[in-house]
Amino acid sequence: MRRLVSSLPGAFHPLRQPILPVQKAWQQFGAYVNLISSHRFFSFGLFIFSLTFIDRIEAVVTAKLLQQFKESILWSHAMRHCFIHLLLWVGLLNAPWATAVPRIVNGEMAQAGAQPWMAALLEKGSVPLRAAHFCGGTLIQPRIVLTSAHCVIDYRPAEIEVLLDSDSLRPPYRGERIAVSALVTHPQYDHWTLNNDIALILLARPSTQTPLAIDAGTATLLTSLDPGKRAVALGWGETYPSDQTIPPVPEDLDCIVTTIGQNTPLAGQFDCLIYPNRGSSELLRVELPLVDPATCRTVYKDWLADTMLCAGYAEGGKDTCTGDSGGPLLVDIGERMVQIGITSWGTGCAQPESYGIYTAVWPYRDWISRRAGQLTFQAACPRAPELSVSQEAIAASGQTRVILSWNAVDNAEAYTLFYVQPPHFDAIHHLDMGMARQFSADLDPGQAYLVALQARNARCASPFSNVEWVEP
């Protein structure tokens, strides 16, 4: 993660992301570290370590963990309490590992409105946006965002939102905020080496912004990628070099409004937690020279794969950093900017002889085209409807009226009802229901059917609904 673990001690090696957890308890340990250290919880006065304050923080963290793991927290209350207390002390002492996840170091403000395709990945439901933001991305098709695999590997689609056409994460918020329908990481993504660190996000609806062109491997572009060629990286990530101590109280403070609502025991006991944020609220850009792979391998040895690009200065000073992961590395080919890389990882931020590493887009052009096409096609297909059955007796005739009903499905242009009458299971009949949402039939005693429904449009049909047994 450029750079989820960018400031871990050297013993953890240059990867900017956490070691892959293999035990649920270890996952929860890592989640506690990430949540507490990245939010940098603190307060002022003697009440900072009061039981009430600790309990409030624990409630927020525990709620997030329950949301993530969907099961009871393994640790006891006392263990969680002591661990949070310890992390608060570490955060106040500004421990080197207690950082959030890369941002542009020594860059400049991006031109307002010039990059509507730039995406901020947000944790859904988190506020403010500076706290919700965790990675970047780029809109490459109306419903497809390109990002790093390590940014989304531990998320579910319902947990993420994408913000487009916004240069600022400060109120008043502007831009286009869209939910996520699907996440697809490269099938050969390696969490340890960050090989194949690339992923696609399917938006719940098409964006109205103009997509960014990506590297298609054209001869014109390939000849422009000589070492020393200036590239541009964008992001909202860390703005301090990893060897620089940040001020204990930054000039600007954001307030995290917790999700503890009116229906909880802690309702009304506090409004927010204040934390220092070392990232930028405004979208930043930085120019970085491309670095020859042979030169880069003198630093990273075999960690540098053929599908990675290297950019930065030998003397350091300018770089992407934690929080910039997933964002673009761009080059100017004359008439337009083209994305050639995705911010991925590095050792520290803006350090001498520690270049930034980017996933090259060109080697994955076929995979991007194929998977993006599949995602877009599948998104255009209707979902399976849900079929329900009810009955009512007809006293006059002794028959039973069977009523079939189903929900409306997005993208459906018609519904088809399928039925089979035992024992002739090989004879499947169907009725075109048009856009109707209900069908009824009067059945005699002894008549029985298996029924199912399918939604369809001009492009494709949905899977079958639930199959129901209908018998008077």
Phi-psi region of 63 (alpha: psi -120 to 50; beta: other; left: phi over 0): alpha
CB 384 within 8 A of CB 418: no
- Render each residue's pLDDT in the chain as its tens digit; 472 residues: 554 333 333 322 333 333 333 333 444 444 444 444 333 233 333 334 444 445 555 665 565 555 544 444 455 666 666 666 665 554 444 333 333 333 477 888 888 899 999 999 999 988 788 889 999 999 999 999 999 999 999 999 999 999 999 998 888 888 999 999 999 999 999 999 999 999 999 999 999 999 998 876 655 565 556 788 899 999 998 776 655 544 443 334 333 333 333 333 333 333 333 334 456 788 999 999 999 999 999 999 989 999 999 999 999 889 998 889 999 999 988 778 899 999 999 888 888 988 999 999 999 999 999 999 999 888 888 889 999 999 999 988 889 999 999 999 988 999 999 999 988 888 899 999 999 999 999 999 989 999 999 999 988 899 999 999 998 8
Catalytic residue IDs = 150, 197, 325
Q: Can you tell me the distance from the alpha carbon of 187 to that of 179, in angstroms, rounded to the nearest whole number? A: 23
Cβ distance 352 to 131 under 8 Å? no
Torsion sign across C-alpha atoms 139, 143, 148, 151: positive
Mapping DSSP to helix (H, G, I), strand (E, B) and coil, where does residue 45 land?
coil
Assigned token pair, 12:
């953890």
Contacts of 228 (CB under 8 A, 6+ apart): 289, 290
* Extended beta strands in 361-406, E state: 387-394, 399-406
7's tokens: 């400031």
Q: How far is CA 28 from CA 16, 109, 428, 462, in A?
A: 19, 37, 51, 38
Sheet containing 449-456: order of strands: 429-434, 414-420, 449-456, 468-470
